[in-house]
Amino acid sequence: MLSWALLLAPLAVGITACGGSSSDPLADKPYDAAGQVALAGVEGGGKADPDKPLEVRAKGEDRITDVTATDAAGRYVRGELDADGSHWRSTVPLAAGAHYTVRVSTEDEDGAQGRRTVGFDTAPADNLLRVKFGPDSGTYGVGQPVTAELSRPVKDPAARAVVERALKVDSQPSVEGAWHWVDGRTLHYRPREYWPAHATVRVRSGLAGIKVGPGLHGGPSKPVTLRTGDRIEAITDAGSHYMTVLRNGKEIRSIPVTTGKPGFSTRNGVKVVLGRESFVRMQGTSIGIAEGSADSYDLPVHWATRVTWSGEYVHAAPWSTGSQGAANVSHGCTGMSTEAAHWFFDTVRVGDIVKVVNSGGEMMTPFDNGFGDWNLNWRAWREGSALHAGVREGSGPADAARLRPGM
């Protein structure tokens, strides 16, 4: 049996940073740090032992500045980085039959920034195809997608159709929705529009005992039940330097803010709250800013609401109150007064919507830096389904059936 309960924590530990923009050359093009770090037990192409911790070690005089390890659904593995940057070690067990991505940032003795990304699989417990739904049962914002992580990749279109038909999502009130294959192991489910406020969403699998492909049958899974709270939307206009917060369509507060300055512009588009941290230490080195440079920073940050995996937050920025409502001076985060950030922290929950408009930054990507699912239009979203791809808008169930693989 897979042991999922202890697997993941909502956020990575270690040094985090205010998310930079891909337009920053230091953040975009760090050198390959393959020679600077070693990952114990996950290199060489074999399956990693899930009973052993994930360990990353620096070589020579180099040091590790940041490590994030995520599963295929983007959930973080908790870990600890030594104070001298020589060693990072996971502090919770890995899951059997899972896929992980490890992103390591480094700094050599000359201060040059390196980056290494390694993907690996853990050894499966058996030959059954299991599914782990996310997030855990609980109450979330109306933007929270449902995730399904498979214990092994499924590439064949007919097998994907079998899997997708067996993954059931029912909501009250009922809304139109669809699964989207992010990759061979991961699916996301979202409605055409945001979930209704105060809805109940039940997610379950009917895969147990079903033949998925040659020598592969579905295994048991644990259902989850999600509930949504009020519809909370925070819309940040980087051009006017104000955030408007809505509850169920009505404005409840307008907040003067500052967003990313040129070279570090905040990403446009819809993001989903990933977590909340009352205190975060933010360092510029983790996004490629050389220590001692004009843009270098090392700050204690309070009331931080995370919206991207790379470190973009809505947070208290008392050092920039003179620019809030007037200019963009951050390294990518949305900064506001301490009082406003505390209020925002207490008002939102995981799954709530944070949308940025009129920024000079790029568009939030759909899947590789948080839940950017809502930045795909409905047609593009359905194209990622094994059951709906190629079905034109407005077509009926009979049309869909004719296009289903294996039908």
DSSP string, 349-385: -TT-EEEEES-SSPBPPSSSSS--GGGS-HHHHHHT-
pLDDT band at 68 (very low <50, low <70, confident <90, very high): very high
Question: In the predicted model, what is the mean pLDDT of residues 66-90?
Answer: 90
The CATH 2.40.440.10 domain(s) of the chain lie at: 232-375
Q: Does the pLDDT value for residue 338 go beyond 80? A: yes
Q: What is the DSSP string of 194-216?
A: PPPTT-EEEEEE--BT-EEETTE
The CATH 2.60.40.3710 domain(s) of the chain lie at: 128-228
333 has catalytic annotation: yes
Nearest to 38, CA basis, from 11, 68, 62, 13: 62
314, containing H or E segment: strand 313-316
Percent of the chain topping pLDDT 90: 62
- Residue 12 has a pLDDT of 39
Q: Tell which wins on pLDDT, 192 or 392.
A: 192
- Residue 110 has a pLDDT of 80
C-alpha to C-alpha distance for 307 and 296, rounded to whole angstroms: 22
Q: Which residues pair with 98 in a beta bridge?
A: none
pLDDT band at 136 (very low <50, low <70, confident <90, very high): very high
The CATH 2.60.40.3780 domain(s) of the chain lie at: 25-121
What does the CA dihedral 271, 275, 278, 280 come to, rounded to 10 degrees? -80
pLDDT band at 402 (very low <50, low <70, confident <90, very high): very low
18 has catalytic annotation: no
Q: Tell which wins on pLDDT, 143 or 39.
A: 143
Is domain 25-121 annotated with CATH 3.40.640.10? no
* Catalytic one of 99, 180, 188, 333: 333
Is domain 232-375 annotated with CATH 3.10.180.10? no
Mean residue pLDDT of the chain comes to: 85
- Residue 397 has a pLDDT of 34
* Catalytic one of 315, 331, 342, 388: 315
Q: Give whole-number Cα distances, 23 to 215, 361, 367, 388, in Å.
A: 47, 8, 19, 36
- Residue 96 has a pLDDT of 65
pLDDT tens, position by position, 50-61: 778 999 999 888
- Residue 393 has a pLDDT of 46
DSSP 6: T
- Residue 204 has a pLDDT of 97
Give the lowest-confidence range in 115-119, 187-191, 381-385.
115-119
Q: Give whole-number Cα distances, 159 to 142, 178, 181, in Å.
A: 31, 17, 12
Q: Mapping DSSP to helix (H, G, I), strand (E, B) and coil, where does residue 145 land?
A: coil
Q: Give whole-number Cα distances, 294 to 134, 148, 251, 284, in Å.
A: 41, 44, 38, 11
pLDDT tens, position by position, 169-219: 999 999 999 999 999 999 999 999 999 999 999 999 999 888 888 878 888
Q: Tell which wins on pLDDT, 375 or 389.
A: 375
Give the lowest-confidence range in 101-110, 251-260, 357-366.
101-110
397, containing H or E segment: helix 397-403
pLDDT band at 126 (very low <50, low <70, confident <90, very high): low
C-alpha to C-alpha distance for 145 and 201, rounded to whole angstroms: 11
Residues 6+ apart with CB under 8 A from 393: 378, 379
Q: Output the pTM of the full model.
A: 0.70
Beta strand 242-247 pairing with 250-256:
antiparallel
Alpha helices in 95-211, H assignment, sequence order: 157-166
What does the CA dihedral 186, 191, 197, 198 come to, rounded to 10 degrees? -60
pLDDT band at 395 (very low <50, low <70, confident <90, very high): very low
With beta carbons less than 8 A apart as the criterion, state whether 354 and 344 touch.
Answer: no
**CATH number of the domain at 128-228, please?**
2.60.40.3710
Query: Could you count the other beta carbons within 10 Å of the beta carbon of residue 297?
Result: 17
- Residue 109 has a pLDDT of 82
